[in-house]
Amino acid sequence: MLKLDRSKFKTFIPLSVQLGSFLFAIAPNSSKNSNHNLPVLLGLAGLSWMGGCAIAPQMVQAYTARFAIPLLRQGEESYQTLLTRAENIARAAAQRSFDSDILVTQVSISIIGQNNSATVPILKLEVSRQDWRKFPDPQRWARYFPNAPILLGISPTPSPSAVPSTQPEPTENQTSDDPESPEIPILPPLPALPPLP
């Protein structure tokens, strides 16, 4: 009588190994003509291996979702408004990517600004799912391209701190040799760049 050890047939062992072990265990005892048993055993072992591969689930692998989203400038829109729209689009795209696919572990979103014929990256958002869950703010994770407004041909609106102020003329009590008030040279403003064709 044939005795099989049941501990060899646990459920976590692949089907092909279980069936192959079983076939080789019963092969010498199945018939007296062993010349025909070898091809049968090999065929059954091959079929069991192919069946195990067909039934076994596919391996799941996480990945990074990558998007390049074009953003067209509307009319005489300022660069700050264009940048705000880019951040909103990046936020929505990141959230949609994480919500729609559980295998996405990281997103990489490039917002490409378009003005006339110029096409320039405005911002790039790269963030993992865990970081986005903690802080879903694109300003925290985005990388900005400071030369983008110049390359797009958008004249940046000067902020109050960027406008050079003229230095007041020294009064009678102040002289330019006074160590308390050193004279700072004021550079002339740079000429504006010609618009892109």
CA distances to 7, 109, 137, 145, 164 from 106, rounded to whole Å, are: 42, 10, 15, 21, 43
* Structure confidence at residue 147 (pLDDT): 92
- pLDDT at 11 > cutoff 90: no
Reported pTM:
0.53
Degrees to nearest 5, angle at CA 49 with 47 and 54: 95
- pLDDT at 194 > cutoff 90: no
- pLDDT at 160 > cutoff 50: no
Q: Which residue has the tokens 């320039």?
A: 120
101-128 in b/e burial notation, b at 16+ Cβ within 10 A?
A: eeebebbebbbbbebeebebbbbbbbbe
Pairing relationship of beta strands 63-72 and 118-128 according to DSSP bridges:
unpaired
* Structure confidence at residue 39 (pLDDT): 76
CA distances to 160, 168, 170, 177 from 184, rounded to whole Å, are: 19, 11, 12, 12
> Using one digit for the tens of pLDDT, what is the confidence trace for 94-124?
999 999 988 999 999 999 999 988 999 999 9
Where do the DSSP E strands lie in 4-103?
A: 63-72
Pairing relationship of beta strands 104-115 and 63-72 according to DSSP bridges:
parallel
- Please answer whether residues 91 and 69 qualify as being in contact, where contact means their C-beta atoms are separated by less than 8 angstroms: no
* Structure confidence at residue 131 (pLDDT): 95
> Which comes out higher in pLDDT, residue 176 or 196?
196
Q: Mean pLDDT, to the nearest integer, of 141-151?
A: 93
- Please answer whether residues 86 and 79 qualify as being in contact, where contact means their C-beta atoms are separated by less than 8 angstroms: no
Degrees to nearest 5, angle at CA 70 with 68 and 75: 165
Q: Mean pLDDT, to the nearest integer, of 6-27?
A: 53
pLDDT band at 27 (very low <50, low <70, confident <90, very high): low
Domain boundaries defined on the chain: 12-30+37-55, 63-152
> Which comes out higher in pLDDT, residue 62 or 189?
62
Q: What is the chain's mean pLDDT, rounded?
A: 75
- pLDDT at 78 > cutoff 60: yes
